[in-house]
Amino acid sequence: MHQDWQDQIHQYCEQLSSPESPFLQAINDFTWKKMINPRMLSGHLQGQLLSSLVALKQPQCILEIGTFTGYATACLLQSLPKSSEIHSIEADPEIAHKTHLFWHQQNPQHPVKWHVGEALSVIPNLQIQPDFIFVDADKSNYAAYLDVCLPLIPINGVMLFDNTLWSRRVINDNDLKNDKDTQNMHAFNKYLRSHDNIHITLLPIRDGLTLVQKLR
C-alpha cells in the first residue's frame, strides 16, 4: 500500500511538472531500446531538478561523472549559459561510443566535451575549475570523488550525488548488516556529515539525490 501511494505521488508530480523535450524523449527511447541496464537512466523529475538548479546557479563550468546515455547531460545543458562549458566522463568505452554516436546523430552542434576513462584518472588531466558537479557513477568511489572534486570547486560551488538512498536499502537493517553496496552508500552518507565545510541536503527524489554546497 505504501509503495502504491509513493508511485501515485511520483506520477502526479511528473504529470504536473514541465514535460520532457523531444531530445530528452529521444534519449529515453534510445536508452530503453539499446542499453542493457536502462534503469540507470536519470528520471524525469530528477532531470527537471537538475535543469532548474543550473538555471538558478548559472555555472561557468559543469563536470558530470558518469555519462551513460546523456539524459542528465541534456538536462544540465538545457539551462546552461552559452558562455559556459560542460565536461562529461564515461568509464565504459562501449557505452561512451554508443552515446557519442547517438548524440552526434541527434544534436551534432552540442557543446558537450566528452571524456572516456576512469574519472579519478581523467579529472586531474582536465585542468578545469568546475563550479557545478553531478556524480552518477560507481558508488564505491563516491567518497574518492568528493575528496578529489571538493578542492576544485569554489565557495558556494555545488556537487550532487545520485542514488544516495540506494533503493531505500540504507534504512533496511538486514541490508545494512549483510549487503556491501548498502554499507558503502551508508558510509558515504555518514562521511559527508563528517565535513564541517559543506552544507548537505539529502532529497528523497527517485533513488535519493544529495546536494552538497561548499561553504569554505
What is the pLDDT, as a whole number, of residue 10?
84
Domains and CATH numbers, the chain: 2-214 (3.40.50.150)
Q: Which pLDDT does position 160 carry in this prediction? A: 98
Q: Residue 115: its pLDDT value, please?
A: 98
pLDDT band per the 50, 70, 90 thresholds, residue 3: low
Cβ atoms within 10 A of the Cβ of 80, count? 23
Biggest CA-to-CA distance, the chain? 50
Q: Percentage of the chain surpassing pLDDT 90?
A: 91
Q: What's the whole-number mean pLDDT along residues 163-174?
A: 95
pLDDT tier for residue 5 given thresholds of 50, 70 and 90: confident
What DSSP character marks residue 16? T
Q: What is the pLDDT of residue 58?
A: 97
- pLDDT recorded at residue 150: 98
From the list 99, 82, 120, 213, the residue with the least C-alpha distance to 158 is: 213
Task: Give the pLDDT band of residue 6 (cuts 50, 70, 90).
Answer: confident
What is the Cα–Cα distance from 16 to 13, expressed in whole angstroms? 5
Model's pTM, two decimal places? Answer: 0.95
* pLDDT greater than 80 at residue 2: no
Cα distance between residue 106 and residue 29, in whole Å: 13
For residue range 93-127, list pLDDT tens digits in order. 999 999 999 999 998 899 999 999 999 999 999 99
- For residues 203 and 32, what is the distance between their CA atoms, to the nearest angstrom? 26
Q: What is the mean pLDDT of residues 13-33?
A: 95
Q: Which residues lie closer than 8 Å to 28 by C-beta, 6 or more apart?
A: 20, 41, 71
Q: Give residue 196's pLDDT band: very low, low, confident or very high (50, 70, 90).
A: very high
Q: Is residue 16 exposed (0-12), middle (13-18) or buried (19+ Cβ within 10 Å)?
A: exposed
pLDDT, averaged across the chain:
95
Cα 62–Cα 185–Cα 178 angle in degrees, nearest 5:
160
Burial string for 154-167 (b: 16+ CB within 10 Å, else e) reads: eeebbbbbbbbbbe
Q: Identify the pLDDT of residue 77.
A: 97
User: Tens digit of pLDDT for each residue in 133-142?
Assistant: 999 999 999 9
Which of 5-9, 17-21, 45-49 is the least confident region?
5-9
